[in-house]
Structure 1
Amino acid sequence: MRLTRILSAASAAVLTATLALAGGQSAQAADGSARALAGRDYVALGDSYSSGVGSGDYDSGSGDCKRSNRAYPKLWAAKNAPASFHFTACSGAVTGDVLAKQLGPVNSGTDLVSITIGGNDAGFVDVMTTCILQSEANCVNRVNTARAYVEKTLPGKLNQVYTAIRNKAPKARVVVLGYPRFYKLNGTCVVGLTEKERGAINGAADLLNGITAKRAADHGFAYADIAGRFSGHEICSGNAWLHSVTFPIGDSYHPTAAGQSGGYLPAFSAGV
């Protein structure tokens, strides 16, 4: 049973090394105010969920950051033609990477920022590797360790990032996007993780989203719910917008192109 949970145990080393994170708008368009969006100076920050890992069609110039032309920031920019667009989101990014490497284009003239961050800080890769390859008890214990980090340490790291964004772009509309729940419980999957493991992972995602939403609100930023957008499109749903374990292995547990266009893009558009 445990053997059927992953393509092969030999993929574990590759998985650990390469898997990384990472309505209202239509009304605006109807009344003509979409023209105002064309004047925005937009910077897209964050991890692989913003860079578009899993959706393919990567910009060769982005290297290991794997910025996709199908990622929601690129899709939004193509649709709304902002005055300027800088895409610095990068696969594998943690909060410290945003502070050190991604904020260069953000300045007093920036009036729109998007960001997903926090999943890698919380140990996303190690959680999924543990749950896929080890016992149910080890999985749940690792998830609980991640939950403790999210509750005790991550809020301070998010505060640092959000404060830096606000200091550099005091007038910007900042939209913070969350993460999907990975699994539909009691769904179509007949092998793989146990329901207890899937439930624990989903619960950790809910906690991460809740902490992120609170930190965003405290900084005056908009929060875009992703879990709701992906409802009915989780792994084991029969119509998933998320990869399970797949090849290339780095795409595992990331949104597909449909997840970017059908989930993240409308969530961000509504937040703008």
Structure 2
Amino acid sequence: MRRSRIVSCASAFLVAVAASAFTGPATAPAAPRATALDYVALGDSYSAGVGAGDYVTSDAACFRSSRAYPVLWAATHASSFSFTACNGARTTDVLAEQLGPLDARTDLVSISVGGSDSGYGRVMATCVLPGTSACLSAVTRARSYMDGVLPANLDRLYSAIRAKAPGAHVVVLGYPHFYQVRGTCQGGLHSEERSALNAAVDHLNGVIAGRATAHGFTFADVRTVFTGHEICSSSPWLRSVEWLNLTESYHPTASGQALGYLPLLTSAA
């Protein structure tokens, strides 16, 4: 009698299991976990977050900001995060000082670099002073460097990144136009100078994009995102020259990091 009751209960259980296979579970299954990502952020001042404020005091020389797009992205997507981007970094600096965290486990790398190599700090320092001819000459010298020296430096750096992180998805982020040429600014640079600076940014982005693509990396173009938010626009995401804080001049604000660069990295990654 006891054995038949056990068989009966077992039969009822099997019927219930079979029925559930056709009717589906009473509650929805738990959502799958997001993939854990090991993320490393390399590069220059645009990746470090210069201009966004709220700098990490232990990295005072690099001006790494808690409002920089790599920090914002890592907060919601990364399982581990290394932030080595630094103000003023050139390709040689990134190669020598920033690649330590990369290894075979690295899933994502972001980088912006090339502006400091091309001497954009010196160019802007020249252009904010009176004299269109001197500004245009400085732009010409920068473009010559972009064509003559920068491509090989980018190749060496990109090859090193790939060698240290062979499985990583690498996102190379470019630079925005500085100026809305016919914008709201009164005085300052002439429209010819603003146009020349924007054209040089276009040239720089073209060189960077070409080398990034050749190495199988993703190039993320920020110019469209920043359209309508350049210096001299009604809602700028870039700082103009700031005589009391020259380091932050011509860099994205916190809005530029959060509303410009961050969505672009999210889309590319």
> Does TM, scored on the shorter chain, surpass 0.5?
yes
| Cα distance between partner residues in 2 of 1:212 and 1:33 | 37
Q: In structure 2, do the counterparts of structure 1 residues 194 and 167 end up closer, same or farther at CA, with 3 Å as the change threshold? A: same
Alignment of 1:132-143 (within 5 A): 132-143=128-139
| Cα distance between partner residues in 2 of 1:165 and 1:264 | 21
Shift of 1:53: 0.4
| Cα distance between partner residues in 2 of 1:33 and 1:45 | 30
| Cα distance between partner residues in 2 of 1:133 and 1:98 | 31
State the superposition RMSD in angstroms.
1.1
| Cα distance between partner residues in 1 of 2:234 and 2:97 | 38
- Residue 34 of structure 2 aligns with an amino acid whose one-letter code is R
Q: In structure 2, do the counterparts of structure 1 residues 99 and 196 end up closer, same or farther at CA, with 3 Å as the change threshold? A: same
- Residue 194 of structure 2 aligns with an amino acid whose one-letter code is R
2:142 aligned to which of 130, 143, 146: 146
| Cα distance between partner residues in 1 of 2:197 and 2:245 | 22
Counterpart in the other structure of 1:196: 192
Structure 2 stretches lacking a partner, 5+ long: 1-30
- Residue 110 of structure 1 aligns with an amino acid whose one-letter code is T
Q: Given the two structures, how large is their TM-score scaled by the length of structure 2? A: 0.87
- Residue 196 of structure 1 aligns with an amino acid whose one-letter code is E
Structure 1 outlier segments of 4+, above 4 Å: none
2:234 aligned to which of 229, 235, 238: 238
Q: In structure 2, do the counterparts of structure 1 residues 203 and 168 end up closer, same or farther at CA, with 3 Å as the change threshold? A: same
Counterpart in the other structure of 1:224: 220
Q: In structure 2, do the counterparts of structure 1 residues 33 and 117 end up closer, same or farther at CA, with 3 Å as the change threshold? A: farther
Are 1:47 and 2:44 an aligned pair? yes
| Cα distance between partner residues in 2 of 1:242 and 1:164 | 31
Counterpart in the other structure of 1:122: 118
Q: In structure 2, do the counterparts of structure 1 residues 33 and 172 end up closer, same or farther at CA, with 3 Å as the change threshold? A: farther
Shift of 1:34: 7.8
1:111 aligned to which of 107, 127, 130: 107
| Cα distance between partner residues in 2 of 1:156 and 1:209 | 15
| Cα distance between partner residues in 1 of 2:116 and 2:32 | 37
**Residue aligned with 1:113, SS:** strand
Counterpart in the other structure of 1:84: 80
Alignment of 1:151-166 (within 5 A): 151-166=147-162
| Cα distance between partner residues in 2 of 1:33 and 1:186 | 50
The one of the two structures with greater contact order (alpha-carbon pairs below 8 A, sep at least 6) is 1
Shift of 1:185: 1.1
Alignment of 1:8-87 (within 5 A): 35-36=34-35, 39-80=36-77, 82-87=78-83
- Structure label with greater radius of gyration: 2
| Cα distance between partner residues in 2 of 1:113 and 1:56 | 23
**Residue aligned with 1:229, SS:** helix
Once the two structures are superposed, what CA deviation does each residue of 1:19-58 show, in whole Å capped at 9, x if it has no partner? xxxxxxxxxxxxx78812xx11100000000000000011
| Cα distance between partner residues in 2 of 1:60 and 1:147 | 35
Once the two structures are superposed, what CA deviation does each residue of 1:234-265 show, in whole Å capped at 9, x if it has no partner? 00111100000123221100000000000000
| Cα distance between partner residues in 2 of 1:143 and 1:134 | 15
| Cα distance between partner residues in 1 of 2:32 and 2:213 | 25
Once the two structures are superposed, what CA deviation does each residue of 1:163-209 show, in whole Å capped at 9, x if it has no partner? 00000001000000000100001111121000000000000000000
Q: Percent identity?
A: 54
Counterpart in the other structure of 1:29: none
| Cα distance between partner residues in 2 of 1:178 and 1:111 | 21
Counterpart in the other structure of 2:254: 257
